[in-house]
Structure 1
Amino acid sequence: MGNPRARYTQEFMIEAVRMVRGGQSMAAVAKILGISPKTLHNWVKADTAGKLNGAGKQVSAEQMEIARLRAELARVKMERDILEKAGGVLREGVGMKYAWIERHSRQWPVSLLCQALGVSPSGYHARKARDIDTERPRRRISHDSLLVHIKAVHAQSKGEYGWPRVWKKLLAQGIRVSKDRVQQLMKLHGIRAKTKRRFKATTDSNHSLPVAPNLLQRDFSPGRPDQAWSTDITYLWTEEGWLYLTVILDLFSRQVVGWSMQPHMRTELVSEALRMAWFRRRPQAGLIVHSDRGSQYCSREFQDLLKGYGMRSSMSRRGNCWDNAPTESLWGSLKRARILGQRFATRREAMDEVIDWLSFYNHSRLHSTLDYVSPMQFEQDWHAAQNQRVA
């Protein structure tokens, strides 16, 4: 690749700030995105002042790597401090570890405490919720009270959730109620998920460019993160004209690891999304990137970019949307949740809506394929389990 250069896109900076605003620590977000805490601090400060800009700032790959190493060193120092203070707790049972994490949760991030002590963050939060639940007397929640909780969850998802996800979210909040009761109450009050609508494809496969074989073969459940990604293009209408969106989806956790939005469908659209995903994740060589046979993906520019990153190209069979079903499903969820019935005066309005949903999707949306946890939580739980096995 020679000396590749990265760009902090406006969307990338907005997503980073949004993660901090969502309650994650500055150090944790910097580590996840592979940027320096100082850079992230500057973005948050600029956002507070209403002056977040700098899209397109050129940063060398060497500088990016130095920033990533600094963030990693900071994390290691924090973990070392935790281990020194934890002392004999490491030899105790899970209950003692959870209690120690609770006592020190204001000093260090819970995710880092769990990682250092070799326990799962989801396990800690589940145990905490059970402890709180057992401390208060069990009472049957009234219909009126339950309806308020249902409407709040439904509104939080902006109408995207049907009864299965509403029920799962209520359970996660510690509200013990049967799924039949939630389903009946939602039906009685006309609370339902937004309906589906078909959208035409954007693929132009009528070209003479070389086509890659289907390496994925509909194996949508790889065994680890950054083993197989899928990508696709969709479009949104605004009063200023069309806005085209492409994403890079990690098939292990179904997390959106890269995206790009442009007023055109040129190769630059898909290349920018791939660059963002690579700089955020830095995957090992051999990763499969699956797409359709569109001319953007078959182009020499995109194929050279894949080769430079050590990635392998995989493509669906002609006219077969099922070969890229997870990304097609993502488009359906996005459009049902945020696009149907909306009118966007500008492309910027549409981009803001999409970015807001992508943040919700990655951090909070309960994913049925992942046993109703969010993509980021699923991946964090997997890493915690791996660390626990090593320990």
Structure 2
Amino acid sequence: MAKERNIYNRIFKENVVKLSYEKKNLKEFANELGIAPCLLTKWRKDYQKFGEASFQGSGNLRVHPENRFSFELEKNYKKSELRFEILKKAYPYLYQGRIEVYNFIKNNEKKYSISEMCRVLNIKSGTYNRWKNNGISEKQRQIAILKKNISLIFLRSKKYYGRGKITQKLNDQGYKISQKQVSFYMNQLGLRKIAKRKFKITTDSKHTHYISPNVLNRKFTVNSSSKVWVSDITYIQTKKGFLYLTIIMDLYDRKIIGWSLGTELTTLKTTLAAWEMAKSNRTILKGMIFHSDRGVQYANKAFTSELNSYQCIRSMSRKGNSLDNAVSESFFNSLKRELIYRKSKLITQKLMKAEIYEFIENWYNKKRIHSALNYLTIEQFNEITNL
């Protein structure tokens, strides 16, 4: 039969060690207490090293009181590092709904503690354990898939799309869902598109050039290309001053067919440069309406002579009425909301030029869906109308 092992508590050990310093013979003292001399020697060494923190019990770290502060700092630092590591790895799943977060926890149970992951990801451990043991209903599974698809559409649009465009994309995939439902799930997932900012008027209309009447008169829907082109200019702030972006859009398919970006507001660098690109991309029809604001870059002789040479009909917005050129304004609002305002700090002109090119040529003209085109991309719209 195995000999029963004696268990001594912390107070007993401390008292024995303190009393042992008053004894001349440790062996005799250990025998009086019924303790093995080697055990008493071990207790004394521990006490010399850790002081009152010597006998904490199994599973508890021993730290000398003089080192307690630095130990706690290091402990908290390591805990913060661990929590940051968990959050960093879990971040892609946070926008995909609760079930995806549960799956992340389950797949990482061997690497991190469940309680720590639940704490970092704001999940109740009891709720997670019930999910793990009981699974989810078919309805919950379908909702989880729907949320995942909403998140994917939102993130693939670089967080540009709101509930309207996301609803259309989901309906294209076969879902029967309303904007109200999509808005509800987006709120649950914490998905927010960049809010609009108030547009600043930059037009210089204080000149003596001829002002054309508003021929377009807000008729923004046309039935074929090169019937109406609209144009506008805006400024974009960078690390070193402003860049000025001029665009020309065909109202038929809302494509940006000409644009220029530079540091000067001269006619040569703005409207004429954008016009040259537009001419190379689309055929100009006799009697085409060219609509703009009253800015000097559109009203001066150099640009109007160019329009007249192609027998275009000039049209200009009424004074101080940006809605007369609402489609161009809408493009700039999208550009600034979806690209410019998302920057936490100003970037260089070189980098901004690259990002503007990417936005116009690869995103807006090719991949972005447009509500004015029945939620189709420009390429899809042209494919359907050319059948």
Counterpart among 372, 376, 379 of residue 382 in structure 2? 379
Match of 2:291 in 1: 290
User: For 1:194 and 1:244, how far apart are their aligned partners in 2?
Assistant: 22
Match of 1:231 in 2: 231
Question: Structure 1 residue 212: deviation in Å?
Answer: 1.4
Q: How does 1:17-32 map to 2 (within 5 A)?
A: none
The 3 A distance-change label for structure 1 pair 140 and 179 is farther
User: For 2:278 and 2:308, how far apart are their aligned partners in 1?
Assistant: 15
Question: Secondary structure, in 3 states, of the residue corresponding to 2:365?
Answer: helix
Letter paired with 2:358: D
Match of 1:191 in 2: 191
Q: Does 1:365 align with 2:372?
A: no
Match of 2:181 in 1: 181
Question: Structure 1 residue 174: deviation in Å?
Answer: 4.4
Partners of 2:229 and 2:248 within 8 A in 1? yes
Partners of 1:158 and 1:338 within 8 A in 2? no
Partners of 1:225 and 1:250 within 8 A in 2? yes
Counterpart among 335, 345, 348 of residue 347 in structure 2? 345
User: Once the two structures are aligned, what percentage of the paired residues are identical?
Assistant: 37
Match of 1:278 in 2: 279
User: For 1:190 and 1:334, how far apart are their aligned partners in 2?
Assistant: 23
Partners of 1:285 and 1:310 within 8 A in 2? yes
Partners of 1:222 and 1:228 within 8 A in 2? yes
Q: Which has the larger radius of gyration?
A: 2
Match of 2:306 in 1: 305
User: For 1:231 and 1:179, how far apart are their aligned partners in 2?
Assistant: 32
Partners of 1:370 and 1:378 within 8 A in 2? yes
User: For 2:213 and 2:255, how far apart are their aligned partners in 1?
Assistant: 24
User: For 2:220 and 2:248, how far apart are their aligned partners in 1?
Assistant: 14
Match of 1:247 in 2: 247
Please give the per-residue CA displacement for 1:174-213, whole angstroms capped at 9, x wherever unaligned: 4555544322111112212210101311100011111112
Letter paired with 1:221: T
Partners of 1:244 and 1:265 within 8 A in 2? yes
Letter paired with 1:382: T
Match of 1:355 in 2: 357
User: For 1:296 and 1:308, how far apart are their aligned partners in 2?
Assistant: 17
Q: How many residues align?
A: 247
User: For 1:321 and 1:287, how far apart are their aligned partners in 2?
Assistant: 21
User: For 2:237 and 2:175, how far apart are their aligned partners in 1?
Assistant: 40
The 3 A distance-change label for structure 1 pair 380 and 310 is farther
The 3 A distance-change label for structure 1 pair 357 and 328 is same
Question: Secondary structure, in 3 states, of the residue corresponding to 1:303?
Answer: helix
User: For 1:202 and 1:273, how far apart are their aligned partners in 2?
Assistant: 18
Letter paired with 1:376: E
Question: Secondary structure, in 3 states, of the residue corresponding to 2:386?
Answer: helix
The 3 A distance-change label for structure 1 pair 139 and 221 is same
Partners of 2:291 and 2:315 within 8 A in 1? yes
Q: Give unpaired runs (5+ residues) of structure 1.
A: 1-137, 385-391
Please give the per-residue CA displacement for 1:33-76, whole angstroms capped at 9, x wherever unaligned: xxxxxxxxxxxxxxxxxxxxxxxxxxxxxxxxxxxxxxxxxxxx
The 3 A distance-change label for structure 1 pair 141 and 383 is farther
Letter paired with 2:265: M
Q: How does 1:140-151 map to 2 (within 5 A)?
A: 142-151=142-151
Question: Secondary structure, in 3 states, of the residue corresponding to 1:194?
Answer: coil
Question: Structure 1 residue 380: deviation in Å?
Answer: 2.5
User: For 1:186 and 1:231, how far apart are their aligned partners in 2?
Assistant: 35
The 3 A distance-change label for structure 1 pair 272 and 141 is farther
Q: Does 1:170 align with 2:173?
A: no
Q: Does 1:335 align with 2:342?
A: no
The 3 A distance-change label for structure 1 pair 141 and 276 is farther
Partners of 2:194 and 2:342 within 8 A in 1? no
Partners of 1:259 and 1:272 within 8 A in 2? yes
Letter paired with 1:279: S
Question: Secondary structure, in 3 states, of the residue corresponding to 1:363?
Answer: coil
Match of 2:60 in 1: none
Question: Secondary structure, in 3 states, of the residue corresponding to 1:158?
Answer: coil
Letter paired with 1:298: A
Letter paired with 1:353: E
Letter paired with 1:291: S
Question: Structure 1 residue 367: deviation in Å?
Answer: 1.1
Question: Secondary structure, in 3 states, of the residue corresponding to 2:218?
Answer: coil
The 3 A distance-change label for structure 1 pair 287 and 141 is farther
Letter paired with 1:273: A
Q: Give unpaired runs (5+ residues) of structure 2.
A: 1-137
User: For 2:282 and 2:140, how far apart are their aligned partners in 1?
Assistant: 46
Please give the per-residue CA displacement for 1:142-162, whole angstroms capped at 9, x wherever unaligned: 233222221211111111111
Match of 2:201 in 1: 201
User: For 2:193 and 2:238, how far apart are their aligned partners in 1?
Assistant: 24
Partners of 1:244 and 1:262 within 8 A in 2? yes
Partners of 1:163 and 1:192 within 8 A in 2? no
Partners of 1:235 and 1:243 within 8 A in 2? yes
User: For 1:380 and 1:334, how far apart are their aligned partners in 2?
Assistant: 25
Letter paired with 1:235: Y
